Amino acid sequence: MQIKRIEKEMRDTPLHKGTEHHLGRLRAKLSKLKEKELESDSKKGGGGGGYAVKKQGDATVVLVGPPSVGKSTLINKLTNAKSKVAPYAFTTVTVVPGMMDYKDAKIQILDVPGLIEGAEKGKGRGKEVLSVIRGSDLLIIISDVKNKSAHKTMTKTLEQNGIRINQEKPKISIRKMIKGGIQIISNIEQPFSDETVKEISKEYRIPNAEVTIKEKLSLDQLIDSFSKNRVYVQGLYVLNKSDLSNQSNKSNSKTLLISAEEGTNLETLQKLIWKKLGLIRVYLVRPDEKPSKNNPIIMKKGQTLTHLMKTIGEEFAEGKDEAKIWGTGSKFPGQTVSLLKKLQDGMQIRFV
């Protein structure tokens, strides 16, 4: 098998300046082969059997975890779903959608079958599960207090399938050209040589391109930048069944301890979901109204008044080139601002 042969060659090749670009190309070749394997698998088995779930609401969250850690109980507590609950593995055999109402937002939460090792090879309906995961806005990576190591295992499985958790997309642009070879533009010292960049470009069949690197990257991030199947998604790590543990029910920077059965820390989980999704509420003020919070619209951090206008609709936007704002983000009530103004949670807006 080609993958095993390349992995052996990588193990047998000593790392030094003379072999760096060769190893870089081998890693790129390995990554590319695995991508093809994933694409082939998804065409053979992905999407069917109840897995084509339509995205609804303001964002989509997927519960990811091994069997029998309480995902079904959790979705039933957070949403209007009726996911079957039983004390044995693989109770959930299809995607169960639910809708969580929080701060005027409709957040879709999906309960999928338990993710296990070998998922990418079809074990435990893993191919279909991974397909749903790739289309999410946030993952709740859940295990229980008796199986803490599952977080590491699941993260590794997701990483191997091109899913990057809590990572930013590398700041690099690759502009293909007709001729000129590979031109590398960067004033930042990298842990790999220009020759390595060129070798990886060749592996991805890009003979001519302008590669602009805007930050310090690892070799893996460089390869990710050339790949077409990488997905960058936010993730929350949760340990369920805290009622079976003597640990204190407090959140830390990495893991939230909850009890879905008893409702412990579920409000904290909702707050973290909101924060990780980067959602905000803004309020539309009609011409004949006083500023109020009667008409909430859910948007995302970083978006501008222009984004809001497009969300409302093109007909509404016609002839409007500025806005008046009240509340959060305004220097004084009714401040006139340009449509490039960034939205803030609680901002009240009238387009003029």
Per-residue model confidence as pLDDT tens digits over 30-86: 777 666 666 655 555 444 444 556 788 999 999 998 888 988 899 999 997 666 665
Residue 248, pLDDT > 90, answer no
Span 129-147, mean pLDDT? 89
Q: Give the domain-ending residue among 190, 207, 226.
A: 226
Q: Are the CB atoms for 147 and 69 separated by under 8 Å? A: yes
Report the pLDDT value the prediction gives residue 26, as an integer from 0 to 100.
Answer: 73
Report the pLDDT value the prediction gives residue 270, as an integer from 0 to 100.
Answer: 96
Question: Within a domain: residue 85?
Answer: yes
Q: How confident is the model at residue 1 (pLDDT cuts 50, 70, 90)?
A: low
Report the pLDDT value the prediction gives residue 96, as an integer from 0 to 100.
Answer: 83
Whether residue 181 is found in the same domain as residue 67: no
Span 241-245, mean pLDDT? 81
Whether residue 211 is found in the same domain as residue 241: no
Report the pLDDT value the prediction gives residue 352, as an integer from 0 to 100.
Answer: 85
Q: How confident is the model at residue 15 (pLDDT cuts 50, 70, 90)?
A: low
Gap between the Cα atoms of 175 and 187, Å rounded: 18
Q: How confident is the model at residue 189 (pLDDT cuts 50, 70, 90)?
A: very high
- Label the pairing between strands 209-213 and 255-257: unpaired
Whether residue 128 is found in the same domain as residue 269: yes
Whether residue 161 is found in the same domain as residue 86: yes
Query: What tokens appear for 345 in the block?
Result: 């949670």
Question: Within a domain: residue 120?
Answer: yes
Span 134-149, mean pLDDT? 91
CATH number at 242 reads 3.40.50.300
Comparing 194 with 8, the larger pLDDT belongs to: 194
Q: How confident is the model at residue 123 (pLDDT cuts 50, 70, 90)?
A: very low
Whether residue 262 is found in the same domain as residue 321: no
Report the pLDDT value the prediction gives residue 276, as an integer from 0 to 100.
Answer: 96
Question: Within a domain: residue 53?
Answer: no
Span 211-230, mean pLDDT? 91
Gap between the Cα atoms of 151 and 149, Å rounded: 5
CATH number at 294 reads 3.10.20.30
Whether residue 86 is found in the same domain as residue 191: no
Lowest mean pLDDT among 61-65, 112-116, 152-156, 340-344: 112-116
Question: Within a domain: residue 54?
Answer: no
Report the pLDDT value the prediction gives residue 250, as an integer from 0 to 100.
Answer: 55
Own/partner pairs, 118-126, CB within 8 angstroms, 24+ separation: 119/157, 119/161, 120/38, 120/41, 120/157, 120/160, 120/161, 121/41, 122/41, 122/45, 124/67, 124/90, 125/49, 125/93
Q: How many domains does the chain have?
A: 3
Residue 27 Ramachandran class (φ > 0 left, ψ -120 to 50 alpha, else beta) = alpha
Residue 120, pLDDT > 50, answer no
| Domain encompassing residue 34 | 2-45+170-226
- The whole-model pTM stands at 0.82
Span 170-188, mean pLDDT? 93
Phi, psi of 211, deg, nearest 5: -105, 110
Whether residue 250 is found in the same domain as residue 153: yes
Helix (H, G, I), strand (E, B) or coil at 91: coil
Question: Within a domain: residue 197?
Answer: yes
Report the pLDDT value the prediction gives residue 327, as an integer from 0 to 100.
Answer: 94
Q: Sheet harboring 296-300: ordered strands across? A: 296-300, 279-284, 348-351, 322-326, 335-338
Residue 302, pLDDT > 90, answer yes
Whether residue 37 is found in the same domain as residue 126: no
Span 136-158, mean pLDDT? 91
Question: Within a domain: residue 95?
Answer: yes
Question: Within a domain: residue 51?
Answer: no
Report the pLDDT value the prediction gives residue 122, as an integer from 0 to 100.
Answer: 46
User: Integer distance in angstroms from the first to the last C-alpha of the chain?
Assistant: 64
Beta strands in 65-130 (DSSP E): 96-102, 105-111
Question: Within a domain: residue 234?
Answer: yes
Report the pLDDT value the prediction gives residue 326, as an integer from 0 to 100.
Answer: 96
Whether residue 135 is found in the same domain as residue 264: yes
Whether residue 97 is found in the same domain as residue 38: no
Taken as a whole, the chain contains a residue count of: 352
Residue 219, pLDDT > 60, answer yes
Whether residue 289 is found in the same domain as residue 195: no
Whether residue 194 is found in the same domain as residue 318: no
Q: Are the CB atoms for 351 and 311 separated by under 8 Å? A: no
Q: Are the CB atoms for 242 and 265 separated by under 8 Å? A: yes
- Residue 322 has a CB neighbour count (10 Å cut-off) of 13
Amino acid at 222: L
